[in-house]
Structure 1
Amino acid sequence: MVTINVAVLLAVVVIWRLRRRTEARSRFDEKLTVVIVLALGVLLAPTPAGQGILNILGQFTSGVSQASR
């Protein structure tokens, strides 16, 4: 039996959608991409990978804010 992780499937869909040319996108396509990315974020947030991404982004933003002082 093959199982597909929903987060991995959504990540593939996001990458596939973002590779398309910008001129070929309609407003609906852009909104759908945003909804898919938000769903991917909700699925990744409670996982260890999501927590790692959060830590990296937190360190990055803290470094940027300290550098701007």
Structure 2
Amino acid sequence: MEYTISATAFVAILIVVRLRRRTEARRRTDEAFTVFTGVVFGVLIAATAGGDAIRQLVGIAADATH
């Protein structure tokens, strides 16, 4: 039996695990790594149907505020 995991799912799990930690004792490198993983997640999800739906929702919300 072979298991696979997509890169998007792996990065999402990584973000959840990192954000569950306490924020008091974070170093600057920890914060930078968290931001980097968030950006990578955004890039990975942008190419999917879910990313397209999120982009459309943000566009609708932006149009509604004008």
> Is the TM-score greater than 0.5?
yes
Gaps (5+ residues) in structure 2?
none
The letter of the residue matching 1:41 is G
Which structure has more helix as a fraction of its residues? 1
Match of 2:40 in 1: 39
Asked whether 1:27 is paired with 2:34, we answer no
Supply the distance in 2 between the matched residues of 1:21 and 1:57 (Cα, whole angstroms).
30
Match of 1:60 in 2: 61
Supply the distance in 2 between the matched residues of 1:38 and 1:26 (Cα, whole angstroms).
19
TM-score under structure 1 length normalisation: 0.85
Structure 1 stretches of at least 4 aligned residues deviating more than 3 Å after TM superposition: none
TM-score under structure 2 length normalisation: 0.89
Q: Over the residues paired in the alignment, what is the CA RMSD in angstroms?
A: 1.0
1:20-57 deviation per Cα after TM superposition (whole angstroms, max 9, x unaligned):
12112110000001111111111111110110111111
